[in-house]
Amino acid sequence: MFGRGSSITREQVLEALKDVQDPELHRSIVELDMVKDIVIGDGRVKVDALLTISGCPLRETIVESIKAKVAALPGVSAVDVNLGVMSQEQRQALIGKLRGGESAFKGPGSFLGPDSPTRVIAVASGKGGVGKSTVTVNLAAALARMGHKVGVLDADVYGFSIPKMLGVHGRPTLIDQMIIPLERDGIRVISMGFLLPDEDQAVIWRGPLLHKTLTTFIGEVHWGADLEYLLIDLPPGTGDVSLTIAQTLPQSYMLLVTTPQDAASQVARRAAKMAEKVNMEVVGVIENMSFFQPTAADAPVYIFGRGGGAKLARELAVPLLGEIPLDQTIREGGDAGRPIVLTHPDAPASVAFRAVAEQLRNTVPVPARA
Ligand SMILES: Nc1ncnc2c1ncn2[C@@H]1O[C@H](COP(=O)(O)OP(=O)(O)OP(=O)(O)O)[C@@H](O)[C@H]1O
Ligand SMILES: [Mg+2]
């Protein structure tokens, strides 16, 4: 049917398949050794591919992208895709490859490699309830909207609020011991809330187990080699957790959140001291709940006082990255799992969050991709 010159080769098919990514691992299926066999006959191409696990929730996506890429080659009349499942050995080899290619910062086996573009930013405050989680999700959403690859690690293992605030629920895929984050709005997310039998269940264990859970999150979660920003939502009272993070991800930055009150900035100062002790660089201060302004025509009301963020930033000699107003929509968005930055991009609070995200990426740039 086709002349010799137009007959398709195995190499051409393989080349086309390099553009097919595993949707969870964010790497080419060719690179991941997931293409087992290619059979070509008379314009018909049969691709045998191996899934990592049999229950792979995204198998249809993989099949469709294989078909689309191969069918686009000249001289291809039909494409069949046959899916198999990797053996335990093949899976281990794959995980080893992912670890090798994205080997640890210095810590015990993190998937975030020294050459990976990932910048880790831990969002901290001395005091609870100042808006760390709110800031984390809105900055993540802002960075994702700017086209960055973003992850959120909910390090508040007792009082996690990220699943609710981002509206992400479910169980992460486990590939042997590798955990694949859930994803929504282009944000990859991992939280203790995904691992408990019931999200409302209280987490009762302490101390060593806390350390273990966090090192598991840092060591076993496959964020993807292309991840640019990993935002970590810290629990209040940052002691143990910052220490664990600093030990396992030594190149991380700290972003301090405070309200304008003097007392709140005093506690934030303690968090900054902790950052210094564990060698984390404070990248800036965000003042949250800075003022309330019912409409643009009204004068701002400084409900929680004024100037705490600026004062703290001055003292620490770091930039004040933004002053986020009080806005009922922020709270509602948090409760509904839809960050204000996504639902009301023109609200003054969203504009402020985006400005912070822009400054962040200028201060902590990701290296240009090859
Ligand atoms: N600028 C704001 N305007 C209105 N509501 C806000 C604002 N910032 C945060 N909130 C609301 O305040 C509450 C506390 O915020 P959040 O949970 O983000 O604080 P946190 O510092 O993470 O708390 P915790 O210390 O308990 O982890 C939430 O209900 C949130 O929606
Ligand atoms: Mg929180």
Mean pLDDT of 186-196: 91
Substitution candidate for ligand 1 out of 123, 127, 133, 153 with most atoms within 8 A of CB: 133
Mean pLDDT of 83-109: 72
Helix (H, G, I), strand (E, B) or coil at 166: helix
Position in ligand 1 atom list of the atom nearest CA 136: 18
Position in ligand 1 atom list of the atom nearest CA 324: 1
How much is the pLDDT for 345?
97
Instruction: List, for residues 54-69, the tens digit of each pLDDT value.
Output: 776 788 889 999 999 9
Q: Got the DSSP string for 167-186?
A: T--S--EEETTEEEPEEETT
Report the chain's mean pLDDT, rounded to a whole number: 87
pTM (2 decimals)?
A: 0.86
How far is the C-alpha of 367 from the C-alpha of 364, rounded, in Å? 9
Superfamily for 4-86? Fe-S cluster assembly (FSCA) (3.30.300.130)
CA–centroid distance, 154 to ligand 2, in Å, is: 9
User: Of 2-16, 29-43, 132-146, which gets the smallest average pLDDT?
Assistant: 2-16
Distances (CA, A) of 160 to 84, 133, 164, 190, 236: 37, 9, 9, 10, 11
Q: Where are the domains of the chain?
A: 4-86, 119-363
Position in ligand 1 atom list of the atom nearest CA 329: 4
Instruction: List, for residues 93-103, the tens digit of each pLDDT value.
Output: 888 888 765 44
CA–centroid distance, 51 to ligand 1, in Å, is: 41
Instruction: List, for residues 298-326, the tens digit of each pLDDT value.
Output: 999 999 999 999 999 998 899 999 999 99
What CATH topology corresponds to 119-363?
Rossmann fold (3.40.50)
Mean pLDDT of 250-262: 87
Torsions phi, psi for 153 (to 5 deg): -105, 115
Which residue has a Cα nearest atom 25 of ligand 1?
A: 128
Mean pLDDT of 132-137: 97
Residue 142 pLDDT > 70? yes
